[in-house]
């Protein structure tokens, strides 16, 4: 079985001072894990997070990056601006970006490509809404998100990507997918990757579950055969809760 990759998505939370407190508390709590630990923090906290985690097993990620290296793109950040300060990962295509900021499969693909070219490891998010699931369209939506969002991604590039399956109805709602629902959806997603890239590449691909995952439900989810880790929002803001998720699967 693979080790797990547990990533915290702080979203738009934490000042520099809170960042210092949270990371300082987290470091000793997760230092003995075999799992990969990532925290994806707001842009203004990145430098501090990189500095504080130096020499520890905690990796730092951003929550977005643009597809161009520079230019007239007010409010955006280029991938090389992230790598130059020591950032290793970047969340791309989170459902909040898709819902509130017009992110599409095409922009997800462009951002992922640019991130890879700069040497970042993208955490690419996919997932269906409640209407799509209830309307029997879950598989169609997930298939489209994979086929369109990974259109020009080569099998070599796929090795550097983490996928996060996050059903939109479970994000920030306290309603978690059951262990079986999450596992089944990820099995389906992995099957679509297998069609495109072959079984070996699809089996090697890390696919996380995200959506109200916390210290209480992590063990069940992380012990499912298809679930390779978690993308954790709310529970990543409390050191003890996030550490419990990191250690829920040995
Ligand atoms: P949540 O967020 O854990 O607060 O539901 C997960 C996410 O949006 O990545």
**Predicted local confidence at residue 178, as pLDDT:** 96
CB proximity list for 179: less than 8 A, separation 6 or greater: 220, 221, 223, 224
In short, whether 171's Cβ falls inside 6 Å of ligand 1 is yes
The H or E element that residue 147 is part of is helix 138-149
Looking from the CA of residue 91, the nearest atom of ligand 1 is 9
The C-alpha angle 171, 123, 154, rounded to 5 degrees, equals 135
Pocket probe mutation, ligand 1, options 213, 214, 238, max atoms within 8 Å of Cβ: 213
**Predicted local confidence at residue 1, as pLDDT:** 73
Of 47, 1, 8, the C-alpha closest to 26 is 8
**Predicted local confidence at residue 249, as pLDDT:** 85
Average pLDDT across the chain, whole number: 97
**Predicted local confidence at residue 174, as pLDDT:** 87
CA distance 235 to 241: 6
Please, which residues bridge with residue 91 across strands?
123
Q: Are 239 and 195 in contact (CB under 8 A)?
A: no
Q: Residues 209, 215, 221, 222: is their CA dihedral positive or negative? A: positive
Tens digits of residue pLDDT in 129-171: 999 999 999 999 999 999 999 999 999 999 999 999 999 999 9
pLDDT in tens, the chain (250 residues): 799 999 999 999 999 999 999 999 999 999 999 999 999 999 999 999 999 999 999 999 999 999 999 999 999 999 999 999 999 999 999 999 999 999 999 999 999 999 999 999 999 999 999 999 999 999 999 999 999 999 999 999 999 999 999 999 999 898 899 999 999 999 999 999 999 999 999 999 999 999 999 999 999 999 999 999 999 999 999 999 999 999 998 7
213-238 burial code (b ≥16 CB/10 A, e <16): bbbebbebbbebebbbbbbbbbbbbe
In short, whether 213's Cβ falls inside 6 Å of ligand 1 is yes
Phi and psi at 61, nearest 5°, equal -130, 160
- pTM (2 decimals)? 0.98
């Amino acid at each position: 079985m693979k080790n797990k990759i547990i990533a915290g998505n702080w979203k738009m939370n934490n000042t520099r001072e809170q960042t210092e407190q949270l990371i300082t508390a987290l470091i000793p709590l997760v230092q003995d894990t075999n799992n990969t630990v990532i925290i994806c923090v707001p842009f203004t906290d990145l430098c501090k997070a990189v500095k504080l985690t130096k020499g520890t097993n905690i990796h730092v990620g951003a929550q977005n990056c643009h597809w161009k290296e520079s230019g007239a793109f007010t409010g955006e950040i280029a991938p090389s601006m992230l790598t130059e300060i020591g950032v290793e990962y970047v969340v791309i295509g989170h459902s909040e970006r898709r819902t509130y900021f017009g992110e599409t499969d095409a922009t997800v693909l462009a951002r992922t490509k640019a991130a890879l070219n700069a040497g970042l490891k993208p955490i690419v998010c996919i997932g269906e809404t409640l209407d799509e699931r209830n309307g029997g369209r879950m598989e169609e939506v997930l298939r489209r998100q994979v086929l369109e969002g990974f259109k020009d991604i080569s099998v070599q590039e796929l090795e550097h990507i983490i996928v996060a399956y996050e059903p939109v109805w479970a994000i920030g709602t306290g309603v978690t997918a059951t262990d079986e629902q999450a596992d089944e959806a990820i099995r389906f997603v992995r099957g679509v990757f297998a069609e495109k890239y072959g079984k070996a590449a699809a089996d090697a691909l890390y696919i996380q579950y995200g959506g109200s995952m916390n210290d209480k439900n992590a063990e069940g989810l992380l012990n499912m055969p298809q679930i390779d880790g978690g993308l954790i929002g709310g529970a990543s803001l409390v050191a003890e809760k996030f550490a419990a998720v990191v250690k829920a699967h040995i």
